[in-house]
Chains A and B, each alone.
Chain A
């Protein structure tokens, strides 16, 4: 069962306030391989492991149907630093 990009987006946006969101379908269309980048103030003060666990839980049903799932989680501040570093 393919997972749609809009499903993922809705699930994430329902769970936390999102400052920036990138969802990359890397599956060439089969809907089984996604990479997401989430920027949210909800991540403030949480370890990466805790953030990833949280997102894993939010997207539990979807991840179970995928072959591969990759995530990056930033607070707004960290994302700014990340952008500056990579530009």
Chain B
């Protein structure tokens, strides 16, 4: 918090238009998640239906786990306007803070409607079991596919994923 403490703009509460996670690298943040950081993260995960904290960007993931997470979300057709990603490699304060905020030791981390879903392992296993699709549908992130499969008249064909 040292450097940001000297930034006048940060001490004012009108800083909402600043890029949310722009504060510099701070080793202190490792031990202590400030109320300010906590509420910034809370705002960020509540502002967009799907929020992914990852290494790299969707177009250029910089870790296999983050790549897998992006691919799964892409597979389910999560629309870009309903998803926001944060690159923790560009913000080492966020990289530490999000671990404390979620009480989760690894990246990526997925939030849906402000609720922590899990990391890569959970995302993949939910994808395989169909829970992820259910969740995304239930939370209104993606439209239900039911109408589509009813049309051909054979409701039991199911979807076979190759």
- Give the interface of A toward B (CB within 8 A): 48-49, 52-53, 56, 60, 63-64, 68-72
B103 touches A48 (CB 8 A): no
A-contact bits for B18-60, CB 8 A (1 contact / 0 none): 0000000000000000000000000000000000000000000
A63 touches B117 (CB 8 A): no
Within 8 A of A (CB), among B110-142: 116-122, 125-126
B121 touches A72 (CB 8 A): yes
Residues of A within 8 A of B121 (CB): 52, 70-72
Known: A63-B106, A68-B65. A48 touches B120 (CB 8 A): no
Known: A52-B121, A71-B121, A72-B121. A64 touches B105 (CB 8 A): yes
B125 touches A48 (CB 8 A): yes
5 A/B residue pairs, CB under 8 Å, sorted by A = A56-B103, A63-B106, A64-B105, A68-B65, A72-B121
Cα(A48)–Cα(B116), bound, Å: 12
Cα(A21)–Cα(B116), bound, Å: 27
Residues of B within 8 A of A49 (CB): 116-118, 122
Q: Can you add 16 more A-B contacts, CB < 8 Å, to A49-B116, A64-B105?
A: A48-B118, A48-B122, A49-B117, A49-B118, A49-B122, A52-B118, A52-B121, A52-B122, A53-B104, A56-B103, A56-B105, A68-B65, A69-B105, A70-B65, A71-B121, A72-B125
Pick the contact of B119: A52, A60, A64, A72 (CB < 8 A). Answer: A52
Closest to B129 in A: A48
Tell me what chain A mostly uses at the interface: helix, strand, loop, or mixed.
Answer: helix
Cα(A52)–Cα(B117), bound, Å: 11
Cα(A69)–Cα(B120), bound, Å: 10
B106 touches A69 (CB 8 A): yes
A-contact bits for B87-121, CB 8 A (1 contact / 0 none): 00000000000000001111000000000111111
Cα(A70)–Cα(B63), bound, Å: 13
Known: A64-B105, A68-B65. A48 touches B119 (CB 8 A): no
Cα(A52)–Cα(B125), bound, Å: 12
Cα(A18)–Cα(B21), bound, Å: 42
Residues of B within 8 A of A71 (CB): 121
Closest to A69 in B: B106
Residues of A within 8 A of B104 (CB): 53, 56
A60 touches B105 (CB 8 A): yes
